[in-house]
């Protein structure tokens, strides 16, 4: 079955330290991969996506993610965390050959807390 | 630039009542989506509209109907609300791009069915 796993419900980091939010997936073929962020009482905001090409993708707010095909992972990273990065982060995957199927397979989210 | 606007922000209904959730986007996007977000379930697609005049079912369409009134507006209707429909509802939009992901989300409608 197709699935996305975010193995950590919560990640705590100190401000200024690097952060990683993990995502692994089980989807056939080479999927499209996405990261979104959700601040309290707000809608999701698109951060970045992997379509093809360079395995390291750069996105908004200084975030980047690395696609690892052999490990079927797409971990979100940032070199230096800010308190304002504290939010809920979602990984999502879509089959590459799904045609008009708009279904994204979503992870359950990881709550990131950046401590001052 | 308002982006995606949802109304109302909060609503409490009684079982069996009907209501329409409104969504409008001002980015001239072709595609629009309705999701529900529930604890422990992640986001689930209810309906989407690839372009004006077309709508398609998502993962959890039962109990809902949609209308793509024009390019800007995509409404979600609950004909007979049930407690299982208590959720946070998000509307989203996107331009057609490789990957076809929703790009912009509204801030949600928090709906409680008693």
The size of the A-B interface in CB pairs under 8 A is 64
Substitution target in B29, B46, B74, B105 with the highest count of A β-carbons within 10 Å is B105
Write down the mean pLDDT value for chain A.
91
Helices and strands counted in chain A (H then E): 0, 12
Chain A residues within an 8 Å CB radius of B103 = 46
Pick from A46, A102, A106: which is nearest to B33 by CB? A102
Per-residue pLDDT of chain B (114 residues; tens, 9 = 90+): 579 999 999 999 999 999 999 999 999 999 999 999 998 888 999 999 988 889 999 999 999 999 998 999 999 999 999 999 999 999 999 986 666 788 899 999 999 999
Residue B93 is predicted with a pLDDT of: 93
Tell me if B45 and A43 make a contact (CB, 8 A cut-off).
no
SS3 label, residue A60: helix
Q: What is the pLDDT of residues A33-64, one digit of tens each?
A: 999 999 988 889 999 999 888 899 999 999 99
Check pLDDT > 80 for residue A1. no
Q: Which residues in B62-98 are b (16+ Cβ under 10 Å) and which e?
A: eebebebeebbbbbbebeebeeebbbbbbbbbbeeee
């Amino acid at each position: 079955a197709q699935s996305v796993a975010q193995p950590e419900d919560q990640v705590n980091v100190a401000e200024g330290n690097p952060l990683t939010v993990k995502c692994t997936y089980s989807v056939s073929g080479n999927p499209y991969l996405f990261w979104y962020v959700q601040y309290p009482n707000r809608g999701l905001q698109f951060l970045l996506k992997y379509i093809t090409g360079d395995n390291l993708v750069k996105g908004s707010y200084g975030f980047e993610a690395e696609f690892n095909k052999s490990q079927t992972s797409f971990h979100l990273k940032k070199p230096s965390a800010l308190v304002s990065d504290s939010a809920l982060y979602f990984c999502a995957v879509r089959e590459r050959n799904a045609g008009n199927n708009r279904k994204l397979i979503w992870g359950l989210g990881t709550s990131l807390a950046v401590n001052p | 630039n308002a982006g995606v606007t949802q109304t109302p922000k909060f609503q409490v209904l009684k079982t069996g009542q009907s209501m329409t959730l409104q969504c409008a986007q001002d980015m001239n996007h072709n595609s629009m989506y309705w999701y529900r977000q529930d604890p422990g379930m992640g986001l689930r697609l209810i309906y989407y509209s690839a372009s004006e005049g077309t709508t398609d079912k998502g993962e959890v369409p039962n109990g809902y109907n949609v209308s793509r009134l024009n390019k800007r507006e995509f409404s979600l209707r609950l004909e007979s609300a049930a407690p299982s429909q208590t959720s946070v509802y998000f509307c989203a939009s996107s331009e057609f791009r490789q990957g076809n992901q929703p790009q912009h989300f509204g801030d949600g409608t928090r709906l409680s069915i008693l």
